[in-house]
Amino acid sequence: QLQLVESGGGAVQPGGSLRLSCAASGFTLDYIAIGWFRQAPGKEREGVSCISKSGKTTSYSESVEGRFTLSRDNAKNTVYLQMNNLKPEDTAVYYCAADRNPFPIFCTLQPDLRRYTQWGQGTQVTVSS
């Protein structure tokens, strides 16, 4: 069964850190573009970060640039999102998604369901004092 499972969410105070994990099962993350997205109540899903199929290129939204870092461990078949200096506006459900199409090789921060065909169930991140 093809599956993505997110973990690592929780409640933190502003300025705190969390590391989200996205573990794949049933398929390998080798040469798969992965995106992290989030959705806050009443808002549209937005892209946070993504990594290209080769793993050589990462992209970040302006709102998280410099605070979040995406990395991939192919040996563990897992992608991570390190989130530092968290702000209340980062509060959302965070999802990872896989683009298993062979092309294009670059990732996109658009939550394009034609590209990202495999999604996890999401993990809640709450930033509050």
Each residue's pLDDT tens digit, 96-126: 999 988 888 899 999 999 999 999 999 999 9
pLDDT given for residue 102 in this prediction = 86
The answer to whether residue 65 scores a pLDDT higher than 90 is yes
Radius of gyration of the chain (CA): 14
What is the spatial distance between Cα 38 and Cα 46, in angstroms, rounded to a whole number? 6
For 89-117, give the DSSP string.
Answer: GG-EEEEEEEE-SSS--S--SS--TTT--
**Per residue in 20-37, pLDDT tens?**
999 999 988 888 999 999
